[in-house]
Amino acid sequence: MSQYVSRIAGTFVGPPRLRLPGQHRRPRRIAVLSVHTSPLHQPGTGDAGGMNVYIVELAKRLAALDIEVEIFTRATTGGLAPTVQLAPGVLVRHVDAGPYEGLDKEELPAQLCAFTHGVMQAWAGQRPGYYDLVHSHYWLSGHVGWLASERWGVPLVHAMHTMAKVKNAALADGDRPEPAARVIGETQIVRAADRLIANTAEEAADLVRFYEAEPAKVAVVHPGVNLECFCPADGRAAARARLGLPPDAFIPLFAGRIQPLKAPDILLRAVAVLLDQDPSLRTKLVVPVVGGPSGSGLAKPEVLQKLAARLGIADVVRFRPPVGQEQLADWFRAASVLVMPSYSESFGLVAIEAQAAGTPVVAASVGGLPVAVRDGVTGFLVPGHEPAAYARALRNFLDHPELVDRMGEAASHHARGFGWDTAASATADVYTEAMHDHRRRGRTAR
């Protein structure tokens, strides 16, 4: 059930099929646009997160399908090589657009002309027809992709990742709403794109409901997980030993960007509730928070540390900086449970990665998390954001320790249905459809 491409109009495309002679061809080379965050950046801080992982893993798997990928991203430090080989068949192109450092994401719209100029310069040095398709990620990239696709005469495939109207409908306390300019920009991209890729059926429905997307243009492709990296491996005890964590502790983990949208404060408040109810837990609890400030969280980078002190739980909370994929997998293995109380998630890659490592998840019942987490089987979904509700979910694991292993095993099995190979093959099918429809419309126009 988890591996498919579907049309919200009702038709269903099953598992990838062998392509026979005479069938529509896949693209040979695509331009991928990621203006505001580089696939080379460390996820978990700044603007780097699940989208970075998505772009990197998808690009590698597309290259394995003989689709060359060139990723255009903004240069954020001086002296970067103009191009970097990320993997065989995957090239990253750094584009100079605005100052290298100190530029917030909200200031990037003013640099889109410069970024577009850099993309066009790279294209101008190639033979005609060099790129078969443009795949843009996030609305800033979508505007560059819109112009590029029209200039090159190729289809535009766009992935929103997050949507302003959806985020504004579920704002966290203290978070700022997305600006009207973004809403307008997203609306324009939805109209211009040949295909829109959504992570879940709910996201696809949001595109239709909030942005009046044409249902026939929207495809659902679940993201994947790197199953070689995120796996149970040698188990919880070994991972805890490597990370210097107590072997018998109860460890609810938060991993991700520290900003109101991701709601790490909910976990801290839930832990305070647990300790108020049962002070003896203080010797058994270790609460790691792995990640760095991001978005509106950059304005108050110490807010979580101050909250932990104010709640009287600073002694059980351990703040750690973002880490690479291999060590992140160890944090997942070491945890008793991952806690993901986000206010909005288009999918929630972290939830799938943790489950792939054999760890159950307690998550907010929002966005794509009900797809990522099987409620009552691989973890618990919590409606709303009351800390007491999360405390009750965590108490289930404390009162029934066997749940950690039982749900962890189910979680690992569940996550194996989300491989990147399947996601890449399904995405390639979306590209193929977009190219076919684009050519057909071109013939009709003539």
Instruction: Tell the CATH topology of 5-224+419-436.
Output: Rossmann fold (3.40.50)
Instruction: Tell the CATH topology of 236-415.
Output: Rossmann fold (3.40.50)
Instruction: Give yes or no for residue 20 having a pLDDT over 60.
Output: no
Residue 177 CA to residue 236 CA, distance in Å, equals 40
Domain boundaries in the chain? 5-224+419-436, 236-415
Residue 117's contacts (CB-CB under 8 Å, 6 or more residues apart) are none
pLDDT digits (tens, 9 = 90+) for 172-197: 777 889 999 999 999 999 999 999 99
**Four-CA torsion 16, 21, 23, 24, nearest 10 degrees:** 100
Please report, in range form, the residues annotated as the binding site for 1D-myo-inositol 3-phosphate.
36, 47-52, 105, 138, 162, 182
201, burial (CB in 10 Å: exposed 0-12, middle 13-18, buried 19+) = middle
Return the pLDDT at 205: 95
Residue 120's contacts (CB-CB under 8 Å, 6 or more residues apart) are 148, 151
Return the pLDDT at 13: 37
Q: Which of 37-46, 152-161, 162-171, 330-339 has the lowest mean pLDDT?
A: 37-46
Residue 441's contacts (CB-CB under 8 Å, 6 or more residues apart) are none
Please report, in range form, the residues annotated as the binding site for Mg(2+).
332-333, 335, 359
Please report, in range form, the residues annotated as the binding site for UDP-N-acetyl-alpha-D-glucosamine.
42-43, 50, 257, 262, 323, 345, 353
181: its two tokens: 């300019």
Residue with token string 């399947």: 422
Instruction: Give yes or no for residue 12 having a pLDDT over 90.
Output: no
Please report, in range form, the residues annotated as the binding site.
36, 42-43, 47-52, 105, 138, 162, 182, 257, 262, 323, 332-333, 335, 345, 353, 359
Return the pLDDT at 65: 97
pLDDT digits (tens, 9 = 90+) for 34-80: 998 888 876 655 555 678 889 999 999 999 999 999 999 999 888 88
14, burial (CB in 10 Å: exposed 0-12, middle 13-18, buried 19+) = exposed
For the residues 250-276, what does the mean pLDDT come to? 95
Q: Between 265 and 99, whose confidence is greater?
A: 265
Return the pLDDT at 4: 38
Instruction: Give yes or no for residue 148 having a pLDDT over 90.
Output: yes
Strands 5-7 and 218-221: what pairing? antiparallel
Residue 72 CA to residue 409 CA, distance in Å, equals 39
Closest CA to 32 of 63, 61, 73, 65: 73
Q: Which of 70-84, 166-180, 286-300 has the lowest mean pLDDT?
A: 286-300
440, burial (CB in 10 Å: exposed 0-12, middle 13-18, buried 19+) = exposed
Instruction: State how far Cα 321 lies from the chain centre.
Output: 19
- The helix/strand/coil state of 415 is helix
* pTM of the shown model: 0.82
Instruction: Give yes or no for residue 14 having a pLDDT over 50.
Output: no
- Phi/psi region, residue 436 (left: phi>0; alpha: psi -120 to 50; beta: rest), is alpha
For the residues 350-370, what does the mean pLDDT come to? 96
Residue 72's contacts (CB-CB under 8 Å, 6 or more residues apart) are 31, 32, 33, 34, 35, 93, 95, 115, 118, 119, 122, 144
